[in-house]
C-alpha cells in the first residue's frame, strides 16, 4: 500500500545488468525494467548518485580485461570485455544470468509504503545499500536506507555505507582484537582518507602506505603523521620506523597479491623483537594482516621471516557487521550520517550518466580505479 500523496510514480526505469556468457565475455548493458508496487515496509528511491567502488568492478566485469572494452549492438547501449579462461571458469555460478550491479547509492525517497518506518523517510535524502544501485529508481526496504540531515546533497549520501563502515570497522576490529594502532595499504584512496580522519579524531595511531611521492604530500597535508611510499628505495626502513613509532601490529591490505603482506609482517616482527629476548620462534607479539581487497589478483606470497606469532586472513564488511550486532551497526551508521560531509566525505574524478558507464572509452578509464579518479554514476543525468 502506497501513500496517496505519491501519485504518478514511474512504473519502469533504466538499470544496468552484467552478464557473463560462455563465449568468454562479460557484457554490461542497459535495460528497461518494471518497478514493483511498494509493500508496506518499502520505499521508492529516485537514485541520483551511486559510486563505483573496487568491490563493484567484480560484478560489473567479472574480473575481465577492461582494456578490451568494445561496444555491443542492441536496442539499448552495451559494452563487453574479454575474460581469460580461468576467470570464465570461476564465473560459472553467474553464467548466462543478467546480474544487478551497484552496492550503494544516494537519492530522494519519492514513494513510501504505509508502515511508520517507510513513511518517516518520505521526501528525505538517503544513502542506501542494495546491490542493485545502478538504476534510475530502486524499491528498497526502509531498513536499507540511512536518512541524512536536511539539505544533504544526494552525491554526498551516495557513499554512506561501503567505505565509511569499512573504515570504522577497521578501527573497531583493531580495538576488539587488542591492538593499539593500525596500518593501511591504500592510504590515498577515498577509504584511506576517511580512515586518516577517523584516526586523527579518535587519537588512533595510523601508518599509511601509498605508491607515489605526491600521495605522501597529500596525506601529510591532511594531518597524517606516518606515510610510507612503497615505491621508495627506503620503504622497508621507513615502514619499520613508522611501526616503531606507532606500535601498529594489525594491517588492512587492499592489494592482496604479491609479497606486501609478508613485508608488513616482517617489519612488525623486527620492531617486536627489539623489545624481547631472542627466541628461535620469534617474538610473542601477535601480528595480523587482513586482506580486504584484490587490487593485485596474483598469489599472496609469504616469506617466513616473521616468527610464529602471526595470522593472515580475509576481512569483509558484512561479516564484521554481523559480529557487532544491530546495536553496534546502528551506532556506526549514525556516526556516518552525522559526519557525511566531513569525516566521511568522498571525492570523485568523474561523473557518469548510465549511458557513459557502457561507453568503451569510459570503461577503460573508470575500470582502472586510479587514485583520485573515482567514478560517480548519476542515473538521472
Span 215-256, pLDDT tens digits: 999 999 999 999 999 999 999 999 999 999 999 999 999 999
Percent helix, percent strand, percent coil in the chain, to nearest 5: 35, 30, 35
Q: Which helix (H) or strand (E) holds 43?
A: strand 42-51
Answer yes or no: do 288 and 371 share one domain.
Answer: no
Residue 1 has pLDDT above 70, yes or no: no
Do 183 and 299 lie in one domain? The reply is: yes
Element (H, E) at 274: helix 260-274
Lowest mean pLDDT among 10-19, 166-175, 178-187, 273-282: 273-282
Pairing outcome for strands 296-300 and 256-258: parallel
- What confidence tens digit (pLDDT) does each residue in 13-65 have? 999 999 999 999 999 999 999 999 999 999 999 999 999 998 899 999 999 99
- Is the residue at 328 inside a domain? no
Residue-number span of the structural domain to which 288 is assigned: 162-319
Q: What pLDDT shows up at residue 227?
A: 98
Alpha carbon of residue 258 to chain centroid: 21
Tell me, rounded to whole angstroms, the distance of Cα 137 from its chain centroid.
22
Among candidate residues 219, 190, 221, the one with its CA nearest the CA of residue 206: 219
Reported as a single tens digit per residue, the pLDDT across 153-163 is 999 999 999 99
Lowest-pLDDT choice from 275-289, 307-321, 338-352: 275-289
Q: By mean pLDDT, which of 38-47, 67-76, 199-208, 364-373 is the weakest?
A: 364-373
Query: What 8-state DSSP symbol labels residue 176?
Result: H
Has residue 206 been placed in a domain? yes
Whether residue 197 sits in one domain with residue 84: no
Residues 214 and 152 in one domain: no
What does the pLDDT read at residue 7?
59
According to the model, what pLDDT value does residue 278 have? Answer: 77
> Binning pLDDT at 50, 70 and 90, where does residue 317 land?
very high
CA torsion, points 150, 154, 158, 160, in degrees to nearest 10?
Answer: -10
Shared domain check, 181 and 103? no
In the prediction, which pLDDT does 286 show? 96
Same-domain check for residues 166 and 311:
yes
Cβ pair 274, 240 in contact under 8 A:
no
pLDDT at position 4, please?
A: 40
CATH of the domain at 14: 3.90.180.10
Cα end-to-end span (Å), the chain: 30
User: pLDDT tens, 65-107?
Assistant: 999 999 999 999 999 999 999 999 999 899 999 999 999 999 9
DSSP 121-174: TTT-EEEEE-S--SBSEEEEEGGGEEEPPTT--HHHHTTSSHHHHHHHHHHHHH
Is residue 305 predicted with pLDDT exceeding 50?
yes
Establish if 41 belongs to a structural domain: yes
Q: Does 325 fall in a domain?
A: no
Instruction: Report phi then psi at 256, rounded to 5.
Output: 90, -65
**Are 313 and 287 contacting, i.e. CB atoms less than 8 angstroms apart?**
no
Mean pLDDT of the chain: 95
In the three-class reduction of DSSP (H, G, I as helix; E, B as strand; rest coil), residue 328 is classed as helix
Q: What is the pLDDT of residue 241?
A: 98
The residue-averaged pLDDT of 313-337 equals 96
Answer yes or no: are the C-beta atoms of 50 and 68 closer than 8 Å. no
- Cα-based distances in Å from 218 to 84, 164, 191, 210, 235: 37, 20, 14, 10, 18
Distance from C-alpha of 251 to C-alpha of 271, rounded to nearest angstrom: 15
The residue behind cell 518497478 is 35
Domain presence at residue 272: yes
Identify the pLDDT of residue 277: 74
pLDDT at 5: 47
Question: By three-state DSSP, how is residue 280 classified?
Answer: coil
- Whether residues 245 and 372 share a domain: the answer is no
Residues 229, 264 within the same domain:
yes
What is the domain count for the chain? Answer: 2
Amino acid at each position: 500500500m502506497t501513500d496517496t500523496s505519491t501519485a504518478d510514480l514511474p512504473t519502469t526505469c533504466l538499470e544496468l545488468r552484467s552478464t557473463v556468457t560462455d563465449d568468454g565475455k562479460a557484457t554490461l548493458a542497459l535495460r528497461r525494467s518494471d518497478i514493483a508496487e511498494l509493500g508496506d515496509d518499502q520505499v521508492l528511491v529516485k537514485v541520483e548518485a551511486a559510486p563505483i567502488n573496487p568491490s563493484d568492478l567484480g560484478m560489473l566485469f567479472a574480473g575481465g580485461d577492461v582494456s578490451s572494452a568494445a561496444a555491443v549492438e542492441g536496442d539499448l547501449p552495451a559494452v563487453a570485455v574479454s575474460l581469460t579462461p580461468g576467470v570464465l571458469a570461476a564465473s560459472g555460478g553467474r553464467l548466462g544470468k543478467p546480474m544487478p550491479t551497484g552496492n550503494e547509492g544516494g537519492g530522494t525517497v519519492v514513494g513510501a509504503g504505509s508502515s511508520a518506518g517507510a513513511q518517516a523517510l518520505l521526501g528525505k535524502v538517503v544513502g542506501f545499500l542494495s546491490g542493485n544501485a545502478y538504476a534510475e529508481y530502486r524499491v528498497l526496504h526502509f531498513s536499507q536506507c540511512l536518512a541524512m540531515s536536511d539539505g544533504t546533497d544526494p552525491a554526498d549520501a551516495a557513499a554512506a555505507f561501503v567505505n565509511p563502515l569499512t573504515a570504522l570497522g577497521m578501527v573497531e576490529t583493531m580495538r576488539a582484537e587488542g591492538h593499539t594502532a593500525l596500518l593501511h595499504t591504500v592510504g590515498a584512496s577515498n577509504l584511506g582518507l576517511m580512515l586518516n580522519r577517523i584516526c586523527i579524531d579518535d587519537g588512533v595511531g595510523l601508518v599509511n602506505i601509498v605508491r607515489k611521492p605526491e600521495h605522501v604530500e597529500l596525506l601529510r597535508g591532511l594531518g597524517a603523521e606516518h606515510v610510507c611510499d612503497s615505491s621508495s628505495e627506503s620503504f622497508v626502513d621507513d615502514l619499520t620506523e613508522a611501526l616503531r613509532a606507532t606500535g601498529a601490529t594489525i594491517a588492512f591490505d587492499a592489494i592482496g597479491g604479491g609479497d606486501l603482506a609478508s613485508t608488513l609482517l616482517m617489519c612488525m616482527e623486527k620492531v617486536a623483537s627489539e623489545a624481547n629476548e631472542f627466541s628461535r620462534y620469534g617474538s610473542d607479539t601477535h601480528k595480523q594482516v587482513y586482506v580486504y581487497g584484490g587490487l593485485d589478483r596474483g598469489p599472496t606470497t609469504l616469506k617466513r621471516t616473521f616468527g610464529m606469532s602471526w595470522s593472515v586472513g580475509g576481512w569483509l564488511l558484512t561479516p564484521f557487521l554481523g559480529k557487532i550486532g544491530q546495536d553496534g551497526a546502528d551506532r556506526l551508521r549514525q556516526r556516518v550520517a552525522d559526519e557525511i560531509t566531513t569525516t566521511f566525505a568522498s571525492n570523485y574524478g568523474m561523473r557518469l550518466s548510465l549511458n557513459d558507464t557502457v561507453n568503451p572509452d569510459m570503461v577503460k578509464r573508470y575500470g582502472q580505479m586510479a587514485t583520485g579518479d573515482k567514478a560517480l554514476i548519476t542515473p538521472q543525468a
